[in-house]
Structures are given as C-alpha cells and as structure tokens.
Amino acid sequence: MNSEKRLMYGAASASIVPLRPCSLAGYFNERIWDKILDDIEVRALVFNYSGHYFAIVQYDLVTISEYFAEAFLKKISDVKEISRENIIITATHSHTAPEIRIGKPGCDSQYIEDAAEAGAKTLRKALSEMKEGRLFRGRTFNHDLSFNRRYFMKDGTILTNPGKLNPEIEHSEGTTDPEIPILGIKDNAGNWQVILANISNHADTVGGNGVSSDWHGFMRRELQKTEGKDLMLFSLVACSGDINHLDVMEPSEQFSYAEAERVGKGYAESVKKALSRMTELAKLDFKSSSVSVTTGAREISKEEQDEARAVLEKYKDIPDAENGGELHSVDLAKKTPAALKFFAKALLKTAEDKEERIFRLCGFSPCEGIYIVSLPAEPFVEIGLEIKWRIFPGSLVMVVEHSNGTGSPNLSGGYIPNKWNYGRGGYETTPRSNPFAMDTSEKLLAGISILSKKLTSL
C-alpha cells in the first residue's frame, strides 16, 4: 500500500477527576461530591488518511455546553490539523461527574478550565503518537438494557419516570434503539486498539454524591479484561433524550453502583460478541464536513407565564431546590409543590431569553456507507432513528448527541423532543428542560440532510 494511503490514527486519554469541591451534574439540586468511585476521563482519537484528518474527543461529563466547547477550541486554535470543522467534542452524559454548565448550582469555573486544558493536551498527545492501523466495521444489538421512559397513563397524559409498578401506566409513548453500530481499529499485529460503539441510553444509574463514569466506565474496564488494558473505548451516546435503563415493570431499585456495573457489563458482552464478526474496510475515502443550524428560543405564551407567576405566589414559602431543597423526577410526576415551583421559576427565566441558537453539526465518513454525525444536547430517540433510516438508509450510522455545544453561551443544554411530543406531559418538553423552539428537531433533521449530501458528494 502506498505510504500516503495508509490509515493513521492516534489515541490518548487523561483523568479529569476533580481536585476541588464542586457539584455533580445531572439532577435538579446541588450535590457536592464526597468520594471518588472510579476514574473519569477525557479521550481523544485522531484519524488521518492521505492528509485528511478527523478527531473525536469524548469527556466523561454531563454534556458539552457552548461555553465549554469554545473553551476547548480556544486551547487548540494553533493545532493546524484540527479545527471546529473536523472535530466532534462529545460527552457520555454521566450524572456523577462535575457540573460544567455555567450558572448551575455548584459549578466550579476552574474545573471547566482544567478539563478543557486536559482535553487539549490529550488531543495533542494523540496527534503526536500517530501510527498505522486497520479499520473495521460491525454492529450488534442489545434489547434488554434500555427503555422509553415516557409513559401514557390511564388518564391520557404522559409522565416521565412514573414509578415502579405504577398501576396507572398504560404503555410507553415511544420506542427504543437497540442497534449498536461499531467501528474498530486494529494494529498490524491484529490486536484491537480502539473501539467506537454508539449506544442509546442515559448514564444515570449510580445516584448519590460519588464521582463515577457510570456504566461507561464498567463497559470500558470489562472490554479491557479481554482485549487488553490499553484498549481505548469510545462509548458514544446515540439519541436518548427519552431513554433510560429503568424497567418500570419490575420492582427492584435500579439506582446503585451495582446497577452501573450490570448495565456496563451487559453492553460490553454485546460488543464482545460482535468483534469476531467485524469486517475490515479495504477501500477508504475520507470525507468530513459541517453545517450550521439556526433555531429560535422556546415559545412561551402569556397564559403560561401568568400561570407560572401564580404558582410562585402560591408556593412562595416552599424552599427552592437550588437553595437546599431536594427534588427528583418523581416529584414532578406527583406534582409536588417543590417541583411545581421549580419548573414555574425556570419557565419565567426561559421566557426572558429571545436569542437565536446556532448549532454546529459535524460529519465524518471513512468510506461510502459509513457515517458519524453529531447532534447537540439531548434529542429524542426517534430523531436518531430517522437519521439512520431516512437520511442514510442502508448505511452504518453513528449519531452522537451531546456534541459541539448547545447553541448559545447562555444555554446549558436541554432535551430536543419531536414536535409531536409537545402538549402531552413529561418534564422533557417543559421550558425548563427544553429551551429550544418547538420545531428544532425538524431543523436539525434538515441540517443533517444537507450534511449527508456533502458527505456523499465531496
């Protein structure tokens, strides 16, 4: 093979365990970490084929906010091979990692700086250690570990996480995505060095105040037992805004460190079964591109704002969640005063924000029929399925959420439902949890459609 036509890759990782007090992200109230359960990392992977580079940087964090993405990009501005046009900066969405969303309770701005610097150093290390490799493709499935968490109740409304064995449950609102597309890199000795697996599920199994990479860490460590301790796993999160690991039809408590182990090892076993069936990509043709998608702020009516003000007045003596009050998703399902006050306050704050949101979607294709595309924040699973089935039919497609920012420095992220989810219930569609215009999913799909044409015509 011509030396200029070899696949070259570099991979590196670094710990991003917090060294200072800060809150963990993912819940409604502040949670200052009190112990380290396992390591959290930043991982960088750089591809190079015939001078065409593409990078993926993955953090064991709750998301990649616009502020965080820009902090990272500023630190690699002198890296000539990589720019905002050919990189996916993404997160595992761990709910037991430090808060990095400016303005959230317990967020430590110094940690943001440190984590961005760690990622930049890791990317530079990956670039400095490029070596020859062989690229493989495959797919597997897991039907047992993910569930659509939005349920129709007997009264016709939707509840998110309605509780175990709730007799009022009728059926789930939507579907799941059990497919796990896989890409892998072997060295010239035939050993797996890097595995990318695209999995649709939330990383919210542990709970508590301990720092952890959640099931992603258990999956990585389980694969390293059989494939070698130096294996680099990128468990890229597919669209899963309405997906989690909770089976409401069985009674066990599913928030624990043991639950993270069960889920992580389950996904590892699914991937292991596919490794022996992976197919080498003999003919590479690297392409990458990006598009910008502009959407608006969440539409909030005067009636909704008036109702929110009435709620705040009614429950003015209830402690705020961000000031020491406890709040969980079950509280919203039960419509407790604390939950109603929390969401009313958030609605009024969201109503003040009229700025446009500008998303940067990146795409990469190592050869015809294989595509990796990014999406911001937390799109619902049906959005990812439409990208796979309608926009890239018959292809191996990885749709990677929580990537490349949240559209505005003032936004920390949020859910991106389908347009038909609105008006039914569930907290994902509330202005607190979704600060984007209600047609954002349609605009993102249109953007990915444009990106697909770029990736197939370059």
Amino acid in the structure at residue 59:
Y
What is the model's pLDDT at position 263? Answer: 99
* Whether the Cβ atoms of residue 400 and residue 198 lie closer than 8 Å to each other: yes
What is the model's pLDDT at position 335? Answer: 81
Q: Which residues of the chain have pLDDT under 50?
A: 1-3
The structure tokens listed for 81 are: 């091979």
Query: 82-94: buried (b, 16+ CB within 10 Å) or exposed (e) per residue?
Result: bebebbbbbbbbb
**Could you give the maximum distance between any two Cα atoms of the chain, in Å?**
74
- Alpha-carbon span 9 to 28, nearest angstrom: 40
Tens of pLDDT, residues 15-26? 999 999 999 998
What is the model's pLDDT at position 2? Answer: 46
What is the model's pLDDT at position 1? Answer: 41
* Whether the Cβ atoms of residue 262 and residue 256 lie closer than 8 Å to each other: no
The residue ranges of every structural domain in the chain are 3-291+357-457, 298-351
The pTM (predicted TM-score) of the whole model is 0.96
Identify the DSSP state of 299: P
What is the model's pLDDT at position 333? Answer: 73
Q: Which of 91, 11, 46, 49 is nearest to 374 (CA)?
A: 91
Identify the DSSP state of 307: H
Q: Which residues contact 377 (CB under 8 A, 6 or more apart)?
A: 63, 241, 401, 402, 406, 407, 413, 414, 415, 416, 436
Residue count of the chain, please give it. 458
> By percentage, how much of the chain surpasses pLDDT 90?
90
What is the model's pLDDT at position 318? Answer: 86
What is the model's pLDDT at position 98? Answer: 98
